[in-house]
Amino acid sequence: MRLALLLRGVNLGGSRKLAMADLRALLADLGHTEVKTLMASGQAIVATERPPAEVAAELETRLLADVGLRTDVMVRSGAELSAIVAANPFPTADADGSRHAVVFLREPLEVQIDAAEYAPDELVAHGTELYLRLPNGFADSKLSIAVGKVKGSPATTRNWNTVKKLEVLTNP
């Protein structure tokens, strides 16, 4: 099965550096095949028969041990990514994917966020994903800041354009 590995907070703003060549080498060393990375912000695709939770835990451990990077890794299968794309509640996402995003959680969020307080931004929770529509972009979004401050499940965010690319790469 093909899995998308989403590393939290890698290569953002000049900190938490990880060369994608190093990530590919580490993933190959862990026994994964068909290893690819997408952009430099911590996305990888692998083929493996190991359970996703095991893949995430193993990669988190090796990143800390090998390169000193402590980060959370969210894992989604190709089927899960297809379901995420199909469940998108915002029909305009494909037209402007940079203003739409998915927050990938390890566990469903236990805290409720009142998205109405953050209009015109919108949020829809769906299992282990939060769909965001940020018409004024991420930089000026109070909702994206509020989501980032919620404690509980580890999480990482990808814009809609990246989500669509990951879905294609995990479903050859």
Residue 139, pLDDT > 90, answer: no
* Residue among 115, 151, 105, 111 nearest 135 (CA): 115
Instruction: Assign 77 a pLDDT band (cuts: 50, 70, 90).
Output: very high
pLDDT digit string, tens, across residues 144-160:
888 877 767 789 999 99
If one compares 6 and 97, the residue with the highest pLDDT of the two is 6
**Assigned architecture for domain 2-78:** 2-Layer Sandwich (3.30)
Q: What is the pTM of this model?
A: 0.92
Q: Output the DSSP codes for 15-34.
A: BS---HHHHHHHHHHTT-EE
Give domain limits for the chain. Answer: 2-78, 82-170
The phi, psi pair for 65, rounded to 5°, reads -70, -40
